[in-house]
Structure 1
Amino acid sequence: MHGASKTTTPPPTRDRSTAIVWVLCSAAFMAMLDVFVVNVAFSTIGESYRGSSLADLSWVLNGYAIVYAALLIPAGRFSDRVGRKAGFLVGLGIFTLASLACAVAPSLWTLVAFRVLQAIGAAALTPASLGLLITVLPQAKVPAAVKIWATTSSFSAALGPVVGGALVEASWRWIFLINLPVGVVAGISAVRLVPDLRQRVRARVPDLLGVALLVVVIGGLSLGLVKSSEWSWSGGATLGVLAVAAAGLVLFVVRMVRHPDPVVSPALFRVPTFVWANATVLAFCTAFGAWFLSVAMWLENAARFTTIETGLAIVPGPIMVPIFAVVGQRLIKRLPVGVVVAVGNLLFAGAVVLLLATAATPVHYATEVLPGWMVSGVGIGLALPSMIASAAADLPPDQSATGSAVVNTARQLGYVLGVAVLVAVIGSLNVTPDRLLTAFRHGWWFIAIVAAVSAATALAITPRTSQS
């Protein structure tokens, strides 16, 4: 019919939610993997830089851990202000380029400097990736996406020794080169797939003094913890650094309350779910950080496993994590999320007690270590994804990256604290098998008690937002 108007139906918009989740999770996985993967390459790196002391070599690990923990909250604040996509891409770019620089570092202190640069990038992309998941996905898909994010990043902690052990067989430099293809693919995919949703607020300059104080607090606390075994807990250096961190915390709280645009809004700490979830994450990760290292050290020093054998022996536990993360998601449709997290943490504590009851020398992996290790994977799968998701459930969208940075700072501090306490409790590894078993039993009791505490705090997690 001549002159009739033709109505056209626009093509349906393609749902890219799944692709966005995997792009963001792969980058967060890579950043968290580097926290753990370097541990297995530690001795090999030392062989490349002859004449370096153990104390100097330790900064390859400690420099990354301290800067990563110290900058998570300021970087999250940065992403909330300039846009989470921009924060994510900047962090990913820095991390990828720094990885390449680490791989070709000609000297130890050059490697340490580039590890610090890596940590800066990781600190930027980690909260931005979680903040993006919360804001760019359809609301119905956010809880599941956050749990995938939490599961993949925690999975990296367990896969670190396996991946690192395999790559070190060729060269320790490959543990950094492997980040390049992941970083490039994730960056290109993020540019194309992830929408750039910015908060329609006037971007004021945040409290720069507050940022500096927060770096002093987190950096000082992390430094005191990671060096306590070398300096001693009662030594002047340890006490001095911790005192500086404590003084900085007092000043930071004053600035947070009084400044018109603080680094961390006090309103976040008026959200009960956020507070209790952070307390649970801190306790849980303290136990998890010590547990993971203790099992690896037990296999290498008591069972005399090689690096590759240790990595392979660790695999069965992490396999349980994604399986029971799915089970946990189904359970919270029928039970309060705090109850599910508490059950997971109690299973974790029970797994440690199981190893306590069966451990002996000589070590029999299949009957003594494996059962407790797999049960702990069940507990971790039930607990960790849900507690991370709960922490962000009741936060306003414009605080999502900052809030997720606080959660990840609690998480990172937990790892640092757990490792520091474990090393202090175990002491020397060059002792008789009986004394070594006694030392590890003391460490495992510490882990079991802290895991039980995290189960108690989990019961107070009651988000208003549905987590199903």
Structure 2
Amino acid sequence: MDKKGCLMHDITKATTLRPTRDHSAAVVWVLCSAAFMAMLDVFVVNVAFIKIGESYRGSSLADLSWVLNGYAIVYAALLIPAGRFSDRFGRKAGFLVGLGIFTLASLACALAPSLWALVAFRVVQAIGAAALTPASLGLLLTVLPPAKVSAAVKIWATTSSFSAAFGPVVGGALVEASWRWIFLINLPVGVVAGISALRLVPDLRQRVQARVPDLLGVVLLVVVIGGLSLGLVKSSEWSWSSGATLCVLAVAVAGLVLFVVRMVRHPDPVVSPALFRVPTFVWANTTVLAFCTAFGAWFLSIAMWLENAARFNTIETGLAIVPGPIMVPIFAAVSQRLIKWVPVGVVVAMGNLLFAGGVVLVLGTAATPVHYATEVLPGWMISGVGIGLALPSMIASAAVDLPPEQSATGSAVVNTARQLGYVLGVAVLVAIVGSLNVASDRLLTAFQHGWWFIAIVAAVSAATAFGITPRTTQS
């Protein structure tokens, strides 16, 4: 071998032996920060309603509600179709496109000249969020080393649950300056996450021909999820027995029947029927739906109780809410250790029972006037412990037995169950509590009825959790 050949051989050998840098931690941070931002916008707008209404004078509460409802409905309706397209055409592309749409729409929301322009831009925001959410989880499942996947998914689930806790705190602080800042804050996060994802996240495409999924099935699924979400979020305004509510729900049911027919018969359906032959996936989604129904109602009920019975302002309410979610990451780490010795279904069931126990404790001690430290805080923190044990393991178990080519679609189904749970929980709680402008004793009775509903649903989610038995060993 000549001198030049030896030199090339040495360079090649050195390059081969040089260890490649592990960017797993950075990838997890990038994907989780974007998912956190998308989920944060589901909750942060709640505290800005009054200020938004002051900017757009003459707007009714019903009109203002579409700033929240428009986002929630479109976000829930598009999660599964967006996940399906990410599985077919690239999860990194789906993530970046969704992140770009979400970030630009956030800027448009901040500059919206009218209420209905704001609603329209919120819908565009939801389209971006629906694209990036399942793509981010799908990427975690496929681009990380197998030994790191379970922990990363639990971090993803924990950070997204933080959005529900810190939304009112962040929103309350930003609204003091201007409600437009609740949207502008997304810009630096979106830009940094986008640049980082371009550099750090691998683009692993499936080695199959990319065919367009069943477009009629996509339309039917949007009608089903959108109609169900619309019926739920408007039920308190229209009433459960009204013609409008029954008509919307009937359309959703009819669409569901047609969608199932398409799913079974189409060669490339939006959701593969094979997903529902994976027991862990079915039981985990059932548990997630029940859990998030209870969680959505529980979170809102505490915020409403503190604002209306204890007379806390928005910032005080946000700060009072923080101690419960602080328990979530701590006991998510505990659950990670527990599942090495205890079946994951048992850990999730324990968490949900603690969640229900915290609700019952508040139910048994609540009184007027409200004493936050003795009547609300203990039960609120116990429920946070239960949520920390249950939620991350629940999300991780839902996806652990799925084939890699279905990871984004499967994660989208899980997130749709979460979102529908939130919507259902809020709708039922509002229907149970009714008017807030009543005497303190009647207000307490109404909230006690709502808390019984939450405790029972949390107990149901504990029962279904025993079906979560992954074939894949989690670590």
TM-score (norm 1): 0.99
User: Match of 1:361, SS?
Assistant: coil
More displaced stretch, 41-50 vs 246-255: 41-50
Rounded to whole Å, the distance in 2 between the matches of 1:46 and 1:276 is 42
Where do residues 47-126 of structure 1 align in structure 2 (5 Å cutoff)? 47-126=54-133
Rounded to whole Å, the distance in 2 between the matches of 1:312 and 1:48 is 26
Look up the equivalent residue of 1:32 and give its one-letter code: M
Confirm or deny that 1:450 pairs with 2:421. Answer: no
Q: Show the counterpart of 1:426.
A: 433
Rounded to whole Å, the distance in 2 between the matches of 1:356 and 1:2 is 84
Q: Show the counterpart of 1:165.
A: 172
Structure 2 residue corresponding to 1:298, chosen from 273, 297, 305: 305
Rounded to whole Å, the distance in 1 between the matches of 2:220 and 2:266 is 13
Offset, 1:418: 0.1
Q: Show the counterpart of 1:376.
A: 383
Unaligned ranges ≥5, structure 1: none
Look up the equivalent residue of 2:14 and give its one-letter code: T
Identity of aligned residues (%): 89
Confirm or deny that 1:217 pairs with 2:224. Answer: yes
Q: Show the counterpart of 1:131.
A: 138
User: Match of 1:465, SS?
Assistant: coil
Confirm or deny that 1:270 pairs with 2:283. Answer: no
Q: Show the counterpart of 1:317.
A: 324
CA displacement, residues 112-171 of structure 1 (integer Å, 9 cap, x when unaligned): 000000000000000000000000000000000000000000111111000000000100
Confirm or deny that 1:5 pairs with 2:3. Answer: no
User: Match of 1:187, SS?
Assistant: helix
Rounded to whole Å, the distance in 1 between the matches of 2:212 and 2:74 is 22
TM-aligned CA distance change 1:335 to 1:239, over 3 Å: same
Offset, 1:101: 0.2
Structure 2 residue corresponding to 1:179, chosen from 168, 171, 186: 186
User: Match of 2:331, SS?
Assistant: helix
TM-aligned CA distance change 1:53 to 1:333, over 3 Å: same
CA displacement, residues 301-338 of structure 1 (integer Å, 9 cap, x when unaligned): 00000000000000100100000000000000000000
Offset, 1:5: 3.0
Confirm or deny that 1:197 pairs with 2:204. Answer: yes
Offset, 1:90: 0.2
Where do residues 225-374 of structure 1 align in structure 2 (5 Å cutoff)? 225-374=232-381
Rounded to whole Å, the distance in 2 between the matches of 1:135 and 1:67 is 27
Rounded to whole Å, the distance in 2 between the matches of 1:212 and 1:458 is 32
Offset, 1:466: 1.4
Rounded to whole Å, the distance in 2 between the matches of 1:335 and 1:368 is 33
Structure 2 residue corresponding to 1:208, chosen from 212, 215, 223: 215
Rounded to whole Å, the distance in 2 between the matches of 1:167 and 1:207 is 43
Look up the equivalent residue of 2:250 and give its one-letter code: A
Unaligned ranges ≥5, structure 2: none
CA displacement, residues 176-204 of structure 1 (integer Å, 9 cap, x when unaligned): 00000000000000000000000001111
Offset, 1:9: 1.9
Rounded to whole Å, the distance in 1 between the matches of 2:474 and 2:388 is 16
User: Match of 1:9, SS?
Assistant: helix
Where do residues 18-37 of structure 1 align in structure 2 (5 Å cutoff)? 18-37=25-44
Rounded to whole Å, the distance in 1 between the matches of 2:375 and 2:422 is 25
TM-aligned CA distance change 1:258 to 1:311, over 3 Å: same
Offset, 1:2: 8.7
User: Match of 1:449, SS?
Assistant: helix
Q: Show the counterpart of 1:408.
A: 415
RMSD of aligned alpha carbons = 1.0
Q: How many matched pairs?
A: 468
More displaced stretch, 46-55 vs 214-223: 46-55
Look up the equivalent residue of 1:457 and give its one-letter code: T
Offset, 1:467: 1.5
Confirm or deny that 1:14 pairs with 2:14. Answer: no
Offset, 1:205: 1.4
Structure 1 residue corresponding to 2:162, chosen from 155, 161, 173: 155
Look up the equivalent residue of 2:135 and give its one-letter code: A
Rounded to whole Å, the distance in 2 between the matches of 1:201 and 1:186 is 29
Look up the equivalent residue of 1:295 and give its one-letter code: I
